[in-house]
Each structure stands twice: as C-alpha cells, then as structure tokens.
C-alpha cells in the first residue's frame, strides 16, 4: 500500500524532501502525515506523544522504514523525463523509370500557312529519362515519317527534323509522338493551314523559330545534286558500320552531298566540309538525282582497341550446373522508317527507284516476314520476304515505278511491312510508310 500511493517519480521526489526536512529537524510527524505515507489508516500507530518516556522500539523501526523510503524518493529527483521519440522514416530518392517520354514541337507554329505540294519540316525535341528510341510524325490519322535512334537503347535527348509534303488544301493536324520501346508519349500537336498558292499565304512558317541558329534546311527541288538530309543527330563514321570510329556528330537539319554508297544503299559516303565519312541511310532523307552515285568498297574493319591476339588457353571442364530459367526474348516491332527517292517527277520520265528501309525497333528477333507496296497506279506488288531482323537491325528494299502512263497529279507509294501479319509485334499500327510524289 505504501508504494501504491506514491504515484509518479515527481511525487517520490517531493515526498522525500518533506521526510528529509522532518528528520533533519527532529520533528514529530503528525498522525495525518503518517496516514498519508502509510496509506492504511486501519493499522494502529505508535504513541508518538509519549515517545520520550516509552521504549524506543517503534521509533527505531519507524525511522529505518522512513530512511529507506527517503533514499528511494530522492533517487527519483535525478530522473529526467522526455517524450518518447519516434524515428522518422528514411526518405530515399528514387528514379521513376515508368514515366512516359516527353516531346515538344518547335516549328511550325500553330496556324502557320504553307502551300500545297511544298515540303515542310517539323522540328521537335523528345526527352526521356531512359532513352527515346523513335519519333513519329502523323498528319491527320496517317503516319508520314518515322525517325529512329541510332542507339538501340535510345537517347535521353533526341532532337529530330521530320519532313512532310501536304497534298491537299485545308487545315491539317500534325502530331509528333516519341517512343521508348512500346511506351508512347503524349502527342505534341500543331495545326497548319494549307493554301492553294503562294498568294493566299499570310502567315508563313518562321525560318528561325524561337531565336538562335536555325536548323531548318532550305531544299531546292530543282537541284540535281545527290545529297542527304540528316533527320536526327547522327554519327559521321570512318566506315559503313557502327564498329567504325566516330569522326563527329552531324546535327538534325544538316545537308551533305553523297559521294558514294554501299550496294544495298544502307550507308552513304558523304562529304562534310573537307571530311569524308559514312552516314547510316535510315536516318537520312535523300534529295536530287542519285542514280550515278558509285558503289564504294568499305574500308578494312577496325581492330578493337587493346586487342592482342593470344593462343586460346586450355579450358578445364566445369562441374555440371543445375539448369536455371532461360532468358525470354522480347517481342519485335517492325517499322518502315523511311522511303527515299524523288518526290517530283516531270513527264516524260524514266522509271524511278525508291529505297525502303524497314527497322526492327523492338527487343526480339522478327523471324521471316513478307512485305508489299501499293503503287501510284493503284496496283499492289510484292516487295519480297525478309528472312529475319534482329532487334535494332534494318534492311533496305528497292522498288521501281514508271510514271509515264500517269497523268499529272499527286500520287503516293505506300509500303507495308509484315503484310500478312505473321509476326507477333509490340505494335501493329506502325507497319506502314508512305511517300507522296507530284507528277507534272
């Protein structure tokens, strides 16, 4: 009962001070104080009034008890109290790799005006924390241009230049969409007004949108020089392959003359200033007359840095390991990344050849797939079967057409990869590419 009444450590401390004062001055505690300390008024008390004359039995024992309680109570005075602290959770910064790419259009601006059958360039910039693998331009509901990154893993900052030629007057909604694999960005949108002739144009596309140096090229359709327009920042290399060393990077919008090519038109040999190097053809647009460009043999493949031929070491057989789950490859994604060739034909004309580049932008091999082309006269022709494209690989197919039997007007050549839909792809809506041709 004695300790049940004591309560908190602060009460212990106060009570100890009271008892200490009482003992130090040798005062007799009152009955009420003793009852409060004992907590039990049913126990008989010693006769403290006659303690001087009675034997000291009770007082001696009582003082021993009081001394013990005093030591316990005084010890409580050294206790400190503070609220129990809660440990704040550790905040760890994380990178959100699950977001979407972002893309913006810098040119043309909203409601800019252009003339029908005149080529325009859409400049855009796509960004992504992981890497943008390709960018598409859509006019209305039709994909008119696709530019892929030269790196299979994509680029975190991917500026592009997308060419498009409107073939009808009126308003046309342009959309640019950036992809990281199969993950698409929200579309960047702009509306242009297509006029019938130059006299109707009042708001032309600014030659230098946003200030600074312009990367929008000026293309003369009557210039016969065979030249390549760089659609995205592209490595100029010492040879036709990514295993060759990089000389420099040509920015989007750069135009360079073509002086040579591989036999399959997959790489162009170009001249940039006083430097001659090679560009990957799928990332360019070709202008001019290129039928006389010679086929150039590739230089010897470079030796990997630090490579030292050695005698193969004798291998010691390893113990048999428990089989583990094998890696499951991703799915392919076949995209018609470009169709290059003249877009202006003057009758009479010889047959015109167009180069079609199909790229597997997915993460798995495609296997065999068929391709077809819809020609300007409305007929459909077989474009051949490709045995396989691994992830990141491209192939160039050629198609020729004689426009002589056609009347003047606007026509299109439309190519479809995997025409019989035999390949299980990431996306089935980006297998078509188109090029517009004006015949006069």
Q: What is the pLDDT of residues 248-303, one digit of tens each?
A: 989 888 899 999 999 888 999 999 888 999 999 888 888 888 888 899 998 888 76
| 226 in a structural domain | yes
Question: Which residues share a beta bridge with 159?
Answer: 125
Q: Which of 48, 78, 108 is the last residue of a domain?
A: 78
Residue-wise DSSP of 345-406: E-SS---EEEEEEEEE-SSS----EEEEEE-TTS-EEEEEEE----TT-EEEEEEEE-GGGS
Q: Are residues 424 and 334 in the same domain?
A: yes
Task: Answer whether 159's CB lies under 8 Å from 124's CB.
Answer: yes
Question: Other C-beta atoms within 10 Å of 74: how many?
Answer: 16
Q: Which two tokens stand for residue 64?
A: 């021993």
Question: For the chain, what percent of residues have pLDDT higher than 70?
Answer: 68
Geometric angle at alpha carbon 185, from 184 and 191, rounded to 5°: 120
Helix, strand, coil percentages in the chain from 3-state DSSP, rounded to 5: 15, 35, 50
Query: For 159, which DSSP code?
Result: E
Q: Are the C-beta atoms of residues 140 and 172 closer than 8 Å to each other?
A: yes
Q: Is residue 306 part of a domain?
A: no
CATH number at residue 403: 2.60.40.10
Pick left, alpha or beta for residue 2 (phi over 0 → left; psi -120 to 50 → alpha; otherwise beta). alpha
22-to-29, 143, 180, 276, 356 alpha-carbon distances in Å: 7, 100, 85, 108, 109
Higher pLDDT, 438 or 221: 438
Q: Looking at 243, 268, 295, which one is the last position of a domain? A: 295
pLDDT tens across 4-63, in order?
444 555 555 555 555 555 544 444 444 444 444 445 444 454 444 444 444 455 555 556
DSSP three-state, residue 68: helix
Q: Does the residue 325 lie in any domain?
A: no
Q: In this predicted structure, what is the pLDDT of residue 70? A: 56
User: Is 257 within a domain?
Assistant: yes
Same domain, 159 and 222: no
Q: pLDDT at position 215, please?
A: 62
For the chain, give the mean pLDDT. 76
What is the C-alpha separation between 193 and 187, in angstroms, rounded? 19
CA angle 298, 303, 308 (to 5 degrees): 160
C-alpha torsion sign, points 33, 35, 38, 39: negative
Position 16 scores a pLDDT of: 54
Quick one: pLDDT band at residue 366, thresholds 50, 70, 90? confident
Contact present, 161 and 215 (Cβ < 8 Å): yes
Burial class of residue 206 (count of CB atoms within 10 Å of its CB; 0-12, 13-18, 19+): middle
pLDDT, tens digit, 9 for 90 and up, residues 119-158:
888 989 999 999 999 999 999 888 888 888 888 888 899 9
Q: What is the pTM of this model?
A: 0.47
Q: Which of 295, 313, 346 is the last residue before a domain boundary?
A: 295
Q: Measured between alpha carbons, how far is residue 424 from residues 208, 251, 332, 375, 396 in Å?
A: 43, 35, 7, 26, 21
Domain hosting 372: range is 330-440
Positive/negative CA dihedral, 287, 291, 293, 295: positive
Query: 57 and 110 share a domain?
Result: no
Residue 412: its H or E element: strand 409-417
pLDDT digits (tens, 9 = 90+) for 315-358: 666 566 555 444 345 789 898 988 988 899 998 888 898 988 89
How far is it, in rounded angstroms, from Cα 413 to Cα 418?
Answer: 16
Are residues 183 and 110 located together in one domain of the fold? yes
Do 42 and 111 reside in the same domain of the chain? no
Residue 324 lies in a domain: no
| Backbone phi and psi for residue 154, each to the nearest 5 degrees, phi listed first | 90, 180
The answer to whether residues 397 and 338 touch, using CB atoms and an 8 Å cutoff, is: no
- Domain CATH number, residue 279: 2.30.30.40
- Does residue 419 lie within any of the structural domains? yes
Q: Please report which helix (H) or strand (E) contains residue 11, including its range.
A: helix 9-24
Closest CA to 334 of 432, 230, 209, 190: 432
Distance CA 291, CA 316 (A): 57
Confidence of residue 415 (pLDDT cuts 50, 70, 90): very high
Q: What is the dihedral of CA 274, 279, 284, 289, to 10 degrees?
A: 60
Question: What pLDDT does residue 350 have?
Answer: 86
In angstroms, what CA-CA distances link 196 with 114, 201, 337, 361, 411? 9, 9, 30, 38, 17
Residue-wise pLDDT for 187-214, tens only, equals 999 999 998 888 877 755 555 444 434 5
Task: Determine contact, residues 203/112, Cβ cutoff 8 Å.
Answer: yes
Pairing of strands 113-115, 188-195: parallel
Which residues, other chains included, contact 37 with Cβ-Cβ below 8 Å and sequence gap of 6+?
A: 2, 5, 15, 19, 29, 69
Over residues 223-245, the mean pLDDT reads 89
In a domain, 132, yes or no: yes
Please check whether residue 374 lies inside any domain of the structure.
Answer: yes
Question: Do 17 and 111 share a structural domain?
Answer: no
Answer whether residue 75 shows pLDDT above 60: no
The number of distinct structural domains making up the chain is 4
């Amino acid at each position: 009962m004695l300790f049940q009444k004591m309560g908190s450590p602060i009460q212990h401390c106060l009570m100890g001070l009271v008892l200490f004062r009482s003992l130090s001055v040798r005062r007799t505690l009152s009955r009420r104080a003793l009852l409060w300390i004992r907590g039990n008024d049913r126990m008989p008390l010693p006769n403290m009034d006659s303690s001087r004359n009675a034997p000291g039995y009770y007082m001696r024992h009582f003082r021993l008890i009081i001394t013990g309680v005093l030591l316990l109570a005084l010890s409580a005075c050294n206790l400190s109290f503070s609220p129990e602290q809660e440990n704040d959770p550790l905040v760890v910064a994380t990178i959100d790799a699950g977001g979407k790419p972002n893309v913006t259009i810098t040119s043309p601006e909203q409601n800019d005006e252009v003339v029908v059958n005149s080529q325009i360039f859409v400049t855009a910039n796509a960004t992504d924390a992981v890497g943008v693998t390709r960018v598409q331009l859509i006019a209305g509901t039709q994909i008119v241009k696709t530019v892929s990154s030269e790196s299979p893993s994509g680029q975190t900052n991917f500026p592009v230049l997308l060419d498009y030629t409107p073939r009808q007057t009126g308003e046309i909604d342009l959309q640019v969409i950036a992809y990281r694999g199969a993950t698409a960005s929200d579309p960047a949108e702009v509306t242009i007004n297509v006029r019938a002739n130059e006299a109707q144009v009042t708001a032309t596309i600014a030659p230098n949108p946003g200030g600074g140096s312009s990367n929008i090229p000026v293309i003369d359709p009557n210039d016969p020089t065979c030249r390549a327009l760089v659609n995205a920042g592209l490595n100029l290399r010492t040879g036709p392959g990514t295993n060759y060393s990089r000389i420099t990077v040509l920015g989007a919008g750069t135009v360079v003359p073509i002086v040579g090519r591989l036999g399959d038109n997959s790489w162009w040999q170009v001249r940039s200033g006083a430097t001659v190097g090679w560009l990957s053809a799928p990332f360019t647009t070709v202008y001019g007359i290129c039928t006389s460009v010679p086929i150039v043999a590739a230089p010897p493949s470079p030796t990997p840095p630090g490579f030292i031929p050695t005698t193969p070491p004798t291998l010691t057989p390893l113990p048999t390991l428990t089989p583990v789950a094998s890696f499951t490859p991703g799915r392919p994604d076949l995209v018609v990344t470009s169709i290059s060739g003249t877009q202006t034909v003057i009758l009479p004309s010889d047959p015109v050849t167009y180069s079609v580049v199909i790229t597997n932008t997915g993460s798995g091999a495609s296997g065999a797939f068929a391709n077809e082309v819809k020609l300007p006269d409305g007929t459909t022709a077989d474009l051949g079967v490709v045995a396989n494209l691994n992830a990141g690989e491209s192939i160039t197919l050629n198609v020729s057409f004689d426009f002589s039997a056609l009347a003047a007007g606007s026509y299109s050549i439309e190519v479809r990869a995997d025409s019989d839909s035999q390949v299980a792809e990431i996306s089935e809506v980006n297998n078509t590419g188109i090029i517009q041709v004006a015949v006069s």
